[in-house]
Amino acid sequence: MKVGVVTFPGSLDDGDARRAVTLAGGEAVALWHADADLRGVDAVVLPGGFSYGDYLRCGAIARFAPVMSEVVRAAEGGMPVLGICNGFQVLCESHLLPGALVRNDHQKFVCTDQRLRVEQTGTAWTSSFTAGQEITIPLKNGEGGFVADAATLDRLEGEGRVVFRYLDGNPNGSLRDIAGISNERGNVVGLMPHPEHAVEELFGPGLDGLGLFTSVLSAGLGAIA
């Protein structure tokens, strides 16, 4: 299964994301922001970083990159898409996911090993986990506060679209401790923490991040609902 990883100007974690795909057993394909071409991939990861310098708003300019029109089209057709950190911001700016990410309420950059609860295992990116499983993966952001209006938050909760929730305190002011969400269909997932940094022994806090990448590989084998 081919998993594309988009590189925007200012992406930082595209290399790690490709490495995570490979370690999970998939074939990583580098995608370029300026090419409106997904090169035949079966899933796409929008990696972390500071695309376009975070100018205007985080993810706001990346949203209009040529590759994104293809990503949006594919996502609407059911292709699994994962947005990590800056990638989550791009998904929100693209309206593939609701809400927005704003500056951390405490005004400081946060970089820590973060405990999370997997709230939803019915997505293309979380089927390898068990419901309620607690995992630890790195979190590093300056603008990671998830916000949406109350009606949207209620809908996300009611439809089981809160995929990850922060444990042990809220690191960035995200409403209802939300760390990650999905679209209605469950093929598009965005989260602020970085699973691609927890896929190898001796690097990062463990192997808990690998589950997202193994999940999408099994989704590619026809397991997706």
**Which residue in 107, 132, 151, 221 binds other proteins (CB under 8 A)?**
107
160 near other proteins, rule: CB under 8 A: no
Beta-carbon contacts of residue 22 (< 8 Å; ≥ 6 apart): 28
* CA separation for the pair 10, 52 (Å, rounded): 6
Among 47, 145, 171, 195, binds other proteins (CB under 8 A): 145
Indicate the residue among 171 and 204 with the shorter CB distance to other proteins.
Answer: 171
Stretch that binds other proteins, among 33-41, 72-80, 97-105, 156-164 (CB under 8 A): 97-105
* Residue closer to other proteins, measured from CB, 20 or 62: 62
Q: Which of 10, 15, 103, 207 binds other proteins (CB under 8 A)?
A: 103
Instruction: Return the axis-axis angle of helices 210-218 and 14-24, rounded to nearest 10°.
Output: 60
Enumerate residues 6+ apart whose C-beta is below 8 A from 134.
Answer: 115, 116, 117, 118, 167
Q: How far apart are CA 174 and CA 181, in angstroms?
A: 12
What is the rounded CA–CA span in Å between residue 151 and residue 155? 6
CA-angle at 163, arms to 70 and 177, nearest 5°:
120
**Token pair in block for residue 15:** 């290399």
Cα distance between residue 183 and residue 72, in whole Å: 12
| Number of residues forming the site for other proteins (CB under 8 A) | 20
Q: How far is the CB of 138 from other proteins (least distance, A)?
A: 22
Task: Report if residue 72 touches other proteins, rule: CB under 8 A.
Answer: no
Stretch of 54-62, 75-83, 120-128, 195-203 contacting other proteins, by CB under 8 A: 54-62
Active site residues per annotation: 85, 194, 196
DSSP run (H or E) holding 2 = strand 2-7
In the range 172-191, which residues lie near other proteins by CB under 8 A? Answer: 173
Query: Which range in 30-38, 96-104, 113-121, 183-191 contacts other proteins by CB under 8 A?
Result: 96-104
> Where along the sequence are the contacts to other proteins (CB under 8 A)?
56-57, 60, 64, 92-93, 98-100, 102-107, 145, 147-149, 173
